[in-house]
Chains A and B, each alone.
Chain A
Amino acid sequence: MTYSFQFRDVFAAWEFLLDGLVLTLELSLVTMVAGLVIGLAGAAGRVYGPAWIRRPIAVYVETIRNTPLIVQLFLIFFGLPSAGLKFDANTAAFIALSINLGAYSIEIIRAGLEAIPRSQIEAGQSLGLSGLQVFRHVIVFPALKLMYPALASQFVLLMLATSVVSQISAQDLFHMASIIQSRTFRDFEVYILVAAAYLALAMIFRLLFAGLYQLVFARR
């Protein structure tokens, strides 16, 4: 092997990587919040709503879960402008990722809601809890606790999937890697380094999620 590795040029462009990292983190965090909100509302509607709410939610979930994220992204970023809706790359990325994660969250949380036995809800009612209290303490909280591991790993997968937004030129970590690649021609070094950065992020997120579980659910 005659190739000598040079990470120096790649590290010299650390400001690019840092900018990209910030957008990747922003995209991930905002999408996780949006995904959780969509997931909770959607799952509640999917399980307890009337048919005219249940049906559209089911169609939304199945459509998103059975098509690739990159096609959804292209449809929103390249396709919608012809219908008069024009977004910049970052906004399109936020929208596509939220819609995508929302569908997965609905499916996960729905499974949690359906796992709550009817008798448990009745027990709550018989203790004199109001409808909202029953929903909050007897249904949502145990359901989230039950589905927490699935939800957390879906969120970590989403963080990794944000790399796809580089393909619509949103300036995330992966996009910055391509920029550095085209400037330094250090292809191998830059992509290995970025892969390592994602790995570190994935582990940090997993640790944070485990900590959050201890904080919110473990003692109750």
Chain B
Amino acid sequence: MIRELSFIDVLYLIAATRWTLALTAIAFLGGGLVGLAIALLRVSAWAPLRWLGAVYVLVVQGTPLLAWLFVFFFGLSIFGFTVSPWIAAAASYSIYAGAFLGEIWRGCLQAIPRTQWEAGASLGLGLTQQLRYIIVPQALRLAIPPTVGFLVQLIKNTSLAAVIGFIELTREGQLTTATTFRPFTVYLIVAAIYFALCFPLTQVSRRLERRLHVAR
């Protein structure tokens, strides 16, 4: 049934944005945990652990996010699981974000000079204590601008969850298009909402980066 595109549709699109944000939050949380593990593996003193981290990053950064979504959503049902779009999306995005956040944070950890670790060791701190009291507080400051930058990527990439039927902004746009048959206007509104979410974050990330460079 075709009906006119009206203001209520715009409200529906804005309402669907909360699912985009919810998925982003889940992905950031899950990806943050995975990423932390990957970053620590990558700076580990034992080579096989470093390789494990490297292979993870290589594989995830070398495959499309879309493939992960499809493997989890369609593929896992053969093992007798019924996978909801929520579970499939949460798992795929955690895996995906973990690889990128892991690489970002590894870079930040490695940017802290070796001598800082040694200074900690010479004060009698253990490895976890060195990380906790010396390395992480300094690395955190470096990590914030690129992490905010990646958040923008994450928000944009949640749009791919639409293809497994996860109702978020892009999917809502598809549904609205199907009933109103006004694809140009609808997708323009959808794009505008994404822009409104992402542009401020881009600016924040850029400003933080600039401030970091001035401070050093």
Contact = CB atoms under 8 A, between A and B. Distances in A.
Interface of A: 1-3, 62-63, 65-72, 74-75, 78-83, 156, 160-161, 163-164, 166-167, 174, 177, 181, 187-188, 191-192, 194-195, 198-199, 202-203
Contacts of A66: 152, 156, 194-195, 198-199, 202
Interface string B71-109: 100111111100000000000000000000000000000
A164 B64 CA distance: 9
Nearest to B152: A66
User: Chain B at the A interface: mostly helix, strand, loop or mixed?
Assistant: helix
A209 to B, nearest CB: 13
Contacts of A67: 156, 191, 194-195, 198
B162 interface: yes
* Complex A-B, nearest 10 residue pairs according to Cβ-Cβ distance, in ascending order: A202-B62, A79-B184, A188-B75, A68-B159, A66-B198, A78-B183, A187-B74, A163-B64, A195-B67, A68-B156
Contacts of B66: 163-164, 166, 174
A55 B152 CA distance: 22
Contacts of B191: 67-68, 71-72, 75
Nearest to B70: A191
Contacts of B183: 74-75, 78-79, 81-82
Nearest to B182: A82
B76 to A, nearest CB: 7
Interface of B: 58-59, 61-68, 70-71, 74-80, 152, 156-157, 159-160, 162-163, 170, 173-174, 177, 182-188, 190-191, 194-195, 198-199, 202
A147 B201 CA distance: 24
Contacts of A65: 152, 198, 202
A70 B4 CA distance: 24
A53 B119 CA distance: 52
A156 B63 CA distance: 10
A67 B76 CA distance: 31
A78 B187 contact: yes
Contacts of A83: 184
24 contacts: A66-B156, A66-B198, A66-B202, A67-B156, A67-B195, A68-B157, A68-B191, A74-B187, A75-B183, A83-B184, A160-B64, A163-B64, A164-B160, A187-B74, A187-B78, A188-B71, A188-B75, A188-B76, A191-B70, A192-B71, A195-B63, A198-B63, A198-B64, A202-B61
A217 B62 CA distance: 25
A160 B63 contact: yes
B180 to A, nearest CB: 11
A199 B198 contact: no
Nearest to B190: A71
Contacts of B62: 156, 160, 198-199, 202-203
A195 B159 CA distance: 20
B195 A181 contact: no
B163 A3 contact: no
Nearest to B199: A66
Nearest to A174: B66
